[in-house]
Amino acid sequence: MWDINRVTMHERKPCSSIKEDRQEKRHSITGGKTAFTLVELLVVIAVIAILAALLLSALAGAKIQAQQTKCLSNVRQLNLAGLLYLNESSQSGFPYNEPTFPDYDPNVAPFWSYELTNYGAADGVRVCPSTRVPQPPNVQAPGAADLAWVLGGNTVAPYVPAMFGSYGQNGWLTDFITFQGSTFDGNGGGGSLHPQFMFSRLSAVQKPSQTPLFFDQNYDLTFPLESDQPASDLYTGQPAYTYARDGMGCCTILRHAGPTASSSVPWQSGQPLPGGINMGLSDGHAEYSKLPNLWNYCWHLNWNPALVTGP
């Protein structure tokens, strides 16, 4: 007689045995390896994506820091070249000599960027690694936070060989071959209208550790005054080489302390002024400066902190 209870007791397998059978089948199907489930794969992919994002962010930050460090080294080398020139030319400042000047001297370099090539300031030193050089670099134009300026070139008459760079010079330490009319860019709005602010020579600098020599800028020189305001666009800076004085706005560009600006960054009075630039001082040292601190330097001979109206 059939005993169903007996059969059930002998034929039924415990749960653990059934689980082992399933694992054995899974083991045999995958060729001896345990396969991942879809959920496990998705978790692994998510973890890899997070790690990759963190790595890319760290690499981007390291690249920005490396560019700022290399830029600071460039400014320091420009300082050295500039001081060598000024010490050899102890009776004057940097040259400013164009073929259109009434007293043009063909034996004198047009600007500092041309003269200092004789003192080691080659293309690689004049260009900040955070900027790009226009191609081809032969059309005179101002630069921007991520763009080098170009002087001279095919559009200038009489022709002056093109020169490019990312740094500017303190215009108050310039030896003008002749004083131009008040409408001439820089000279008219700077030196001619304010001769009392000019450093006649390097020895006239009273506070070398506080007087800028070279620095990040959107053009080749500037004449800051205490009343200057930041540029309304921190990408372009103050429009340079116009018929107005190139002032502090030419230096207020968003080049360091974060990603270099690559498009318009509007700024209005009362807003925080972000970013900074690298500064080379007249005693030979170089340092990073936040943009609001630019007004703390002694830019010209009679700089008066009490007159500062900047941010």
Q: What is the pLDDT of residues 75-128, one digit of tens each?
A: 999 999 999 999 998 778 898 887 777 777 888 888 899 999 989 888 889 999
136/98: higher pLDDT: 136
% of the chain residues with pLDDT over 90: 47
The one-letter amino acid at 166: S
Tokens of 8: 């059930």
Distance CA 109, CA 128 (A): 23
- State the pTM of this model: 0.78
Strands 174-176 and 167-170: unpaired
- Given a contact cutoff of 8 angstroms between Cβ atoms, the answer to whether 101 and 177 are in contact is yes
Instruction: Report the pLDDT value the prediction gives residue 189, as an integer from 0 to 100.
Output: 41
Instruction: Report the pLDDT value the prediction gives residue 36, as an integer from 0 to 100.
Output: 76
* pLDDT tier at 155, thresholds 50, 70, 90: confident
Instruction: Return the minimum-mean-pLDDT range out of 82-86, 209-213, 256-260, 265-269.
Output: 256-260
Q: Phi-psi category of 270—alpha, beta or left, where left has phi over 0 and alpha has psi -120 to 50?
A: left
Residue 189's closest CA among 159, 224, 157, 160?
224
Distance CA 187, CA 165 (A): 20
Q: Using the predicted structure, report yes or no on whether residue 37 has a pLDDT greater than 90.
A: no
Instruction: Report the pLDDT value the prediction gives residue 56, as an integer from 0 to 100.
Output: 78
Q: Output the average pLDDT for the chain.
A: 83
